[in-house]
Amino acid sequence: MVNLSDKKESVLSRIPASTIPYVHTIFGASAFVFALIIGCYGHYYKIVTNGVATYPDEWFPSVSATTGDWYPERNICQILIALASGPRLMLCYLWYLLVLRNVPTSGSDSFAKFLFTNDVIRTVACGGWVYVTSSDDHGIHDFAMIIYLLCTIPHVIGTIKSAPQNPRAERLRRQFAYSFFGALFPMVYFFIQHNIHRVPGAYTYYALFEWSLIFSDLAFDAVCMIDFEAFEIRVVDVGMGGSGNYDVGSSSFNELKTFGGGSKSKSIVSPVRLMDSLSFVADVYLAFVFWSMLTSLPLMIWYFPLWHMGLSGYEAFLFCNVSVGLLGFASLRRKVDTSRGWFHLASLIGIYSYKVLDPAYRLMAVAAGVSLSLLTWGATLFSQRAQNGRAERGVLTLALGLILHNVIKQAWWANNPIWPIMDEKTGGANMLGLVVGILASVQVIRRQEPHEYEAKPNEIPGVVRKQQGESWIFSAVGAGGYLFCLHSMFTEAATISRWSLGGYPNTGPGPIAGGLMVIMAMAGGLALSSKRQLVTSWIWFGVGTVGLFILHRVEGDVGFFGGILFTVFVLSLFPTIFRSLGRQSPGRAFLVTVLVYNFLALAHVWVVAYAFVPGGEVMRERTDLVIFAMQACLALGIHNTHSTNWTFLTETRKRSAFSIARLYSKVSLVGLILCSVFICLRRLPRESPKPYHPEHRLITAGIWTIHFAIDDEMRNSELRMRDAIRDLELDVIGLLESDLQRMIMGNRDLTQFLAEDLNMYADYGPGPTKHTWGCTMLSKFPIKHSTHHLLPSPKGELACAIHATLDVYGKDVDVIVSHNGQEEDLRDRQLQTTELGRIMRESNNPFLFLGYVVTKPGQGEEIYELLMDGGRMHDIEPKDWDRWCEYLAFRGLKRTGYARVSHGGITDTEIQVGKYVVPEETRASSEHRRIPLEEFKKLEAYEQIEEDQVPVGLRYPTMFYGEGVRGHRFHVFDRPYYYA
């Protein structure tokens, strides 16, 4: 206590500090309890009603309905929450002082500031979801609630970690924390049952767990009353001279002003240096640039064999990364390290390459950028300067750059805005990215860093080059497998979702929710990486391997959550794997790393592109072998770390550069997660998809082979595709060659962009682990059920198909989207078309076929007859003899129009579009199977009529006549066909 007996100033008031959490708990609990009582008394039936059901299925109200929808309970709750906000902020500050006093260890100042900042954000977020209710603005309300829940995680963990030693308080805190986090899992389950599966009564159980969160949260904070029993708040009259007249010489007063309880300790208000912050941001952005260039290289290489339909020679640019082996020359390594900023600046040629029009020269510029960037980051990770923690800081920024890469791609619908395939016309932000990269490089150039180089690293105090027992080859192989794992699976947040998807309704989380969970799992894994004894244990390796096995073998939600487990495992290894690599001789170690990475990358391509490479049949459809080899590499890398000197690494963590980076990385992870949450909220659909012409009961359906969304000029073609689909007013479209979730396609996802921008339902089709080139279906009509088929393909490419049932104006209509094999494999095409015919023939619903079948139309063509006659389908226009691969067919619907539209340079294949009317009454469900084939063919007459005889709503847009628009026009017969 401060002895004031000899002072002129007087203590005006003494308040026990435990009063603050007590008042906060009383006001907070009263706000919700009174709102619940008054709401049930005045508006019970209204607040238990939701969009799915009402009483008696729903019998308990949710928190948001109770506190946000009706007067007076809403207003009473808000008033009491306002009264609780003052004590809540005071509680945050008191805990901040408590942390400084009771945890006088290295880094506690930073930890206290982080925890205080997090708690203030959490308090403001609470005000956000209380005062902006779901009826006011659902998006803002949910956004504030998500921020509140995210901030609760570090709040609970940080409070338990920093609390004074008190068994009673610790026991209570852990009990309330377990009840809080334990309630989240059933709450999410029942919310999915309510919101997705629309199960009556599920929202009541969701509400019960939601209320339990409120009271567990309040009870957790109320435990502070125990910790604050030894604290007292005083109001002191210091006179007219202010605080300057007060004697601050006593040790007790200084303990509140200083860190660690001594008057000579560091001030708690010491500011974080602005230049340190800018330096860290610059490093993270340059890491993002590295991942951007690395992921763009295979994508740009793929352009050439794609258009050559075989090996082109440009594949050799994959090996541009072997330049990192030059770091074995000490003089070059020193030059790169002392001039890192200049090398970063030079590597930006890979970003500037978007200005190069010729695809070959653009690829060369990107390869140069990747080589320079690898040299620069290799020099950064090499632990010559381990004594100041800079290499560890480099690893952290590289990991944060990867997560930033995922967040930015999430904002651009799985595209990277600074990739060279992007430009201003295709939605890129290349020039902005280039300018920021230049500024970041200049910051590194101007940065003051020590340059300690000695002839022998062992002469540098505190530096350990290679841990006893470590193997450089194991480190290199482990790092190569790890780099491949990161590139192939974690450079796009939606990849895990696409690996685990099945047909409707077992699709698993979509790209929005799934992408957010993956980014959170990546952040969680990186945060867990400091527990190095855990993350390098064989138990943890087994956990990660089980997660990968579940992801690879199980579809839907279960498979996805196996992927989440694997994500946490992989990111937790990031510092360990790369720091182990950085302790080896860089020339040979880095060279072997990139060679292992290249080998796995080629194998990853061959599993699906086996028909284009010599000997590719060995790896045909063997993703299991690729991931087994990847895990084997990781196992070697983890085994190698078991000989690591952990005491040395613990000392490294205390060094200045790494200590500051740890603080910034925690803040960055929270910021990146919040950015991801905001992006997801912005991308949520605002209304249900609606067909273009419901007044005519019209379906406009098309088929288009889109060549992996890379156009003739090696630019991303998604915006132009969207415009064409929109202008043609397509209600249903099949897109072929659409599976872009591979390294050679940039781990992109055109399906999510087109579905969201066009406001359509989407079925991605068989995922990346099914080894097809992909087929996607977009629909303005709800998808009731779908099945993904891998059609028989004993020799050639594995063919994919989607068989979906749509709810079209209240009637079930079946649709098949398929991509059959090539001309060279006749037996495959026979088997595949026979299977398609069986599926269509056995369906009792009206049917649409939208597919790629290599054949010629007309009688006598075996494949054509297997499709049309075997499936009991009608060709949309049998007299159109100039077709080769794309076909439209129908049954049970009234065909009204047919058109062929040129590709406009987006691909090498046209768009075929048919218009159909769904009759009010359809024929008997199995009539097509009961009547003879010849009679079935006569059911459809092909009487063409002129356009002016067709209602306006059934016509094709006139913009496609003549020269058309954006290169798209009616071609072959230069106009649409219309039918009576």
d(CA 882, CA 864): 14
**Do 747 and 934 touch, CB atoms closer than 8 A?**
no
Nearest to residue 293, comparing CAs of 215, 197, 371?
371
Catalytic residue among 194, 693, 788, 819: 819
Asked if the peptide bond before residue 359 counts as cis, ω within 30 degrees of 0, the response is no
**Do 412 and 492 touch, CB atoms closer than 8 A?**
no
* H or E segment to which residue 238 belongs: none
The one-character DSSP state at 797 is: P
Q: For the purposes of burial, counting CB atoms within 10 Å of the CB of 459, is it exposed (0-12), middle (13-18) or buried (19 or more)?
A: exposed
Who's near 729: CB < 8 A, 6+ residues apart? Answer: 692, 693, 700, 957
Who's near 710: CB < 8 A, 6+ residues apart? Answer: 299, 302, 303, 306, 421, 716, 717
What is the dihedral angle through the alpha carbons of 355, 358, 364, 368, rounded to the nearest 10 degrees?
A: -10
Nearest to residue 960, comparing CAs of 900, 908, 909, 905?
900
Who's near 240: CB < 8 A, 6+ residues apart? Answer: none
**Do 227 and 17 touch, CB atoms closer than 8 A?**
no
Say which residue the tokens 């010489």 belong to. 249
* H or E segment to which residue 508 belongs: none
d(CA 260, CA 101): 6
The one-character DSSP state at 681 is: H
**Do 209 and 60 touch, CB atoms closer than 8 A?**
no
**Do 629 and 517 touch, CB atoms closer than 8 A?**
no
**Do 372 and 387 touch, CB atoms closer than 8 A?**
no
**Do 176 and 159 touch, CB atoms closer than 8 A?**
no
Q: Rounded to the nearest 5°, which phi and psi values hold at 118?
A: -60, -45
Task: Confirm whether 197 is a catalytic residue.
Answer: no
Distance of CA 482 to CAs 107, 394, 475, 630, Å?
31, 17, 10, 7
| Per-residue three-class SS string for 820-837 | CCCCCCHHHHHHHHHHHH
d(CA 632, CA 619): 17
Q: Where are the alpha helices (DSSP H) in 54-166?
A: 63-68, 73-102, 108-131, 138-162
d(CA 755, CA 925): 31
Nearest to residue 900, comparing CAs of 964, 815, 820, 822?
964
Nearest to residue 970, comparing CAs of 907, 880, 902?
902
d(CA 259, CA 97): 9
Say which residue the tokens 């006088």 belong to. 104
DSSP states along 461-480? TT--SS-TT--HHHHHHHHH
DSSP states along 891-937? ESSEEEEEEEE--TTSSSS-EEEEEEE--SSPPPTTHHHHS-HHHHH
Nearest to residue 734, comparing CAs of 872, 836, 842, 862?
836
DSSP lists the bridge partners of residue 261 as none
Phi/psi-derived region of residue 11, left when phi > 0, alpha when psi is between -120 and 50, beta in every other case: beta
Single-letter code of the amino acid located at 110: S
Catalytic positions, please?
819
